[in-house]
Structure 1
Amino acid sequence: MKILAISGSLRAKSYNSAIIRALKIIDTNIDIYKDLDKLPFFNADIDNHTLEEDNSPVLVQELRKNIARVDAIVISTPEYAFEIPGVLKNALDWLVSSGEIVDKPVAVISASTSGMGGDKANIVLMNLVKVLTGDISKELSLCVSRVNKKIDNKGKIIDKVLLDELKTLLNNLKLTVKKGFYEADI
């Protein structure tokens, strides 16, 4: 089972990127998307794809291919002014019309130094996944509060509860993928 993980933060010492790296340690079948900061701004005039070919910008084509080839996606995002970061929204905008996320299981993580764990960004991201018609549920959502107390200055998760929550989230994601495969056989 292949999973693509995306951090919505560009910050070098991002807690959300540390979470994504920890997921890769938990499951080596996770690939980390690293070109979020290189994607061009979404512009419908240059979003040139059809069922036969995609003439959109090369990095957009690569993002779409990366998502199309995996069984599931994990997105971890910080919360900026009760929203997700613009770079993450931009990446998702490129996927609206192309359909790579349709029926694909997506897990959503928000992490914040606040006691709320980025809950507003989590809701925004869950709603965006629903618009993209991804397979999302409460079992595929995690808010990490006071993340600065759970990850050390080297980016290592030092909180056992958080590690257990991440393992549970991954297991739920895998069960969702397997359920989808089973239902497709019926």
Structure 2
Amino acid sequence: MEDFPIAPVVGWNQPATQEIRDFIVRTVGVSAVRVPLSKGRAFALVDREDWIRLELWRWCWSLLQRGAGYAFRAEYIGRKNSKPRYRWVQMHSMILQVQEGLETDHRSRDSLDNRKLNLRPATRGQNVQNQGLQTTSTTGFKGVCFVKRRGDFAAYIDAGGARKHLGYFPTAPAAAAARDEAALRLHGEFAVLSLAA
């Protein structure tokens, strides 16, 4: 991956410093920049033109299961019972402002790559279809499990809000191939394949 420049860290809604102005000039012609999150423990990758808009805020990193996480910021929304209230604004949602009822999906499943070429609008179902292999998988293939009582591998796929059984197979790769074929047919561009194409 190309080595993109690291953007300077800014304070909460502070005016642009000379360091920021110098960075803007220095990165003319650069396609993307890395934005430090949570005191530099992680970086989000964004298009340069989006960074110019995003640099007004300090961005944090929410660590999720499996080491993944999202870039977000807090937005003050008022007080309740004399306590301040905030809502969390995710960076990818701020960049790709999708219409009501849709979500922002990361094509590559890298939740910190927030370049527009990696973001697309998706329904909740499409976003779920683009998830990778679960950490609880015992076969190493998405949509494949071992059925002990039969001694075979079962292939299944979730589509249209229901789980569809695709059959039993003597080997895990054979079941994965059947699942991949069904994923391409049912999930289209959101299909996640177990076997290399």
Q: TM-score, normalised by structure 1?
A: 0.27
From the two aligned structures, give the one with the greater helix fraction: 1
From the two aligned structures, give the one with the greater strand fraction: 2
Q: TM-score, normalised by structure 2?
A: 0.26
Instruction: State the structure with bigger RCO (CA 8 A, min sep 6), 1 or 2.
Output: 1
